[in-house]
Amino acid sequence: MKFTRTKIPEVVIVEPMVHGDDRGYFVETFRADKLEEFLGYKINFCQDNESKSSKGVLRGLHYQLAPAAQTKLVRVIQGRVLDVAVDIRKGSPTFGKHVAVELSAENKKQLLVPRGFAHGFVVLEDDTVFAYKVDNYYSPENDRGIAFDDVEINIDWKIAHSELNLSAKDKVQPKLDEAVDMFEYGVNYYA
């Protein structure tokens, strides 16, 4: 596995080794020991999630507050998405900045989105299957979000606004400067 830090160093691209021949391929999609060695801290994934969506579906930007904060390891099994992580740690030198990475069944890339970041993705191809691991269970009372179209964050979703398909919840999320519940830079949310 290859691990690459992005322009926000806590957000990491994971590229598994693909072993293929005329029969197909084999890929090891997750190795806790290698990931933890690279990161320098332990991750205990406890839940796997999967969604199937059509082109234009945008899910996000979501996060959970402590004590239910989540690290996510996301990937695409079928199709293609633009995956986005936004730093929402107040006081961080990269607060409000984002990383956007195309994940696809073809490139097999994954994105590690740590605690302290909002996460979202837009589907770039019909019948896309998106899968991810989380290190904390879903907690409705700690569930929060940020507006996907906040001009201060300035995400290019690669699809026209008029073609996006959002949930009712995601249409009314607050802008980053209006969100009251976030994270503080320098706090260890893994303790």
Amino acid (1-letter code) at residue 137 = Y
Tell me whether residue 132 is one of the annotated catalytic residues: yes
* Dihedral of alpha carbons 62, 68, 73, 75, sign: negative
Tell me whether residue 62 is one of the annotated catalytic residues: yes
Q: Which position among 63, 98, 119, 132 bears the catalytic label?
A: 132
Residues in the chain: 191
Q: Contact, 144 vs 64, CB < 8 A?
A: yes
Within 13 Å and on the Cβ side, how many CA atoms surround 64? Answer: 18
- Give the separation between CA 139 and CA 68, rounded to whole angstroms: 6
Phi then psi dihedrals of residue 41, to 5 deg: -150, 160
Q: Which position among 19, 62, 119, 138 bears the catalytic label?
A: 62
- Taking 3-state DSSP, the helix, strand and coil percentages for the chain, each rounded to the nearest 5, stand at 10, 40, 50
Catalytic residues: 62, 132
